[in-house]
Chains A and B, each alone.
Chain A
Amino acid sequence: MRKEVGGEGEWDPDWERSKEVESGTEKMMEKLVGLAGRVRQLKPMIERTVVSQEFSAAAAAGVGTARSYSLPDLPYDYAALEPVISAKIMEVHHSKHHNAYVTNLNKALDALDKAKDVNEVIALGPALKFHGGGHLNHSIFWTNLCPPDTSQPPSPDSALGKLIAERFGSMDAFVTQFNAKSAAIQGSGWGWLGYDKARKSVEFVALSNQDPLEASTGLTPLLGVDCWEHAYHMQYFSDRPGYLKSIWRCINWQNVEHRLQAAMA
């Protein structure tokens, strides 16, 4: 698009500038169209993850008849978290480990129904905690995760961003501390970011085995990272720190923020 000024073909700096802007705008339009397409692709996944899974996980853990808890579906394919967490790990973790917790929770509840006396009831305590905790923790975990690099960390002026900064100093400091303390868990356990409703603050807590956060500490779980070897061994072997470093690419911050909103309500 040529524009002549003064009709004599003089060079017009404004026209040059407007041509740059125009071509720049065209490039930006192309990018926006591309982005819009990508957002359209991701939208159902985000919706499923945020809207339906976050609380269907809670539902799966808390609703249904006493002995019919069931394995929740993942909000994504087994391969969706590659290369951070391999498809093989996701498949075994979900269909074998989590599934076993559900099965054994239901078995323990059956046994509870049939308990002949108080001694038998009490004896079932550890199994209910192990398998109930395992079901609960994994249900939360799946919703805390998303495909790599698809979720932005909370902005410093969001509710979550402010609480993290207040408690840990900064997002970076939070991640460093979370990873150091999770790496240091002896044997099997979980690293948690939990919300303290009374103090209106967030805390990091490391727990052993499948001890559930809320029942053990009163904190509301926002984000949990499974540090059992089964969560990473096939891919990272003994390198738990490497697993912890990588997993932050897969944290679904919208889910964490939604959990916080629900806890603060």
Chain B
Amino acid sequence: RQPLSLSVAGERLCSTEEATAGSGTYTRHGFIFSSLAGCLEKKNEDNELPVVSVVRDSESQLLPNVGAVVTCKVCSINSRFAKVHILYVGSTPLKSTFRGTIRREDIRATEKDKVEVYKSFRPSDIVLAKVISLGDAQSNYLLSTAENELGVVVARSEAGVQMVPISWCEMQCPRTHTKEFRKVARVQPQFLQT
């Protein structure tokens, strides 16, 4: 890898015959253009053409892709959707959180009309969700918890104590023994700490 120079967005780098477009670039009319302002990098492959990419920071930000499982924290709920902050993509923490939305019909796979957002999530719950779309103009990722392994993993009761899951739809507070409704994730046994 040889950092060659700095480039600005829109700068024409080379033709597609000399190199392949990497991250931070796009091709148009047979030429490779930069789409970011940053350092130009050329990675030499043995058999194929070198890969040209433009990098902004030294570590590139890991972006959630469609189909990735993300860990997020619920910030507000509504009767139609829940707004979340995406904290982790897979197991890597994000430097800056992204915003996500979980719509009411994407919370569960079955009986979608009978879902109540208030009985599935509450503000400050930690939720495992899957990205279904990169989002609209407001740049909110669209997430879904419509699988058994997705849903609430950590939640606090009204008393402020961390709750224990007792079924796929209920969690219990160990101090007051009150049950609260949540859409609980079925975590694989190897990930549970006892």
* Chains A and B come from one and the same complex: no
